[in-house]
Amino acid sequence: MSQHVAVVEWSRGDQPFSDNKYSRGHDWRFDGGAVVRGSSAPSGVPEPMSDPAAVDPEEALVAALSSCHMLFFLAYARKDGFIVDSYRDEAEGLMSKDERGKVSITEIILRPAITWSGDKLPDAAAIADLHHRAHDICYIANSIRAEVKIEPR
């Protein structure tokens, strides 16, 4: 199979630690050179310990699922002879207690808005089939416990 690596790096610096008021800001480093600022969600750890401009792990999970779904959707659309001009997903993750009583992302809703062009345009059934196939093969969807709903716009 394949291996995927991310380096997550945090440093206390000169901040106190035992008072629980340390920064949760950190960096995610990826093999291609991209660096993303990460932090805890401000809903869980208030500012200034959290950085609302950074990506929190919950947002990253939602984005990873949305991205994975989109990439397979685009591949299947191309394979089926459709031309996609744009794809925008306003995805949302909902956190609550799951059936085990643990707080988790229990549902992710994908809301893709897609524009098409070309001589061959998909009907609603073809679009639903593209989403079904993309979801079925998406590695992230196959790795999580959350229910995934697709609500095309």
Overall pTM surpassing 0.85 (yes/no): yes
Distance of alpha carbon 131 from alpha carbon 113, whole angstroms: 12
pLDDT tens across 44-74, in order?
999 999 999 999 999 999 999 999 999 999 9
The pLDDT score that the predictor gives to residue 4 is: 92
The pLDDT score that the predictor gives to residue 62 is: 98
- If you write DSSP's letter for every residue of 40-53 in order, what string do you get? --TTTS-TTTS-TT
Residues of the chain with pLDDT under 50: none
The pLDDT score that the predictor gives to residue 48 is: 94
The pLDDT score that the predictor gives to residue 1 is: 86
